[in-house]
Structure 1
């Protein structure tokens, strides 16, 4: 059994080696999107992984769908990458959610600045 920790959620789950990171995320009740149903065709389950042991070999789909730079940086497809030992998995923030979050933060800062100037 291996421990897989999902960030930024801070959730850890014990799973059997050989299962996918996507299955581990589901076991941890962590949302890891997968539009293609785990076939490796959409890259929505792309994650950044740090393993304590060597990771599973890249699947054919991962080699096809991920750039060389992404692979070098440690990105894998959660539906294709197998658990081979303890791992820390970082789920990247969805670009649309990131844009919305940044806009809301800017509005909050502007409102706080206006309140300071008035008070």
Structure 2
């Protein structure tokens, strides 16, 4: 059994070695999108591995779908990467949600500045 910690959610799952990160996320009740049904064709389940434990070797689909830079930065496809030991996984923020969050934060700051001026 291995422990997989999911950030920024702060949830941990105990899973058998050999299961995918996507399956581990589901076991931890962590939302990790997967539009292609786990076939490695969409990259929506992309995660960043934040531990030194080597996980399974890159799959053929990962080599095809992820750039060399992404691989060097620790990114893997959750549906392809298999657990081989304890690891910490960061789920990147959805780009659309990030844009909305940044806009809301900017509007909140502007409102606070206006309120302070009054």
Q: How does 1:32-111 map to 2 (within 5 A)?
A: 32-111=32-111
Give the superposition deviation at 1:53: 2.5
Worse-superposed segment, 42-51 or 58-67:
42-51
Give the superposition deviation at 1:87: 0.4
Distance 2:67 2:52 in 1: 23
- Alignment RMSD: 0.7
Task: List structure 1 segments (4+ residues) > 2 angstroms apart after TM superposition.
Answer: 50-53
**8 Å Cα contact 1:5-1:12 kept in structure 2:** yes
Size of the aligned set, in residue pairs, is: 118
For structure 2, the residue ranges without an aligned partner over 5 or more in a row are none
Report the TM-score when normalising by structure 2. 0.98
Distance 2:19 2:41 in 1: 18
- Identify if the C-alpha distance between structure 1 residues 22 and 94 changes in structure 2 by more than 3 Å, giving closer, same or farther: same
**8 Å Cα contact 1:52-1:86 kept in structure 2:** no
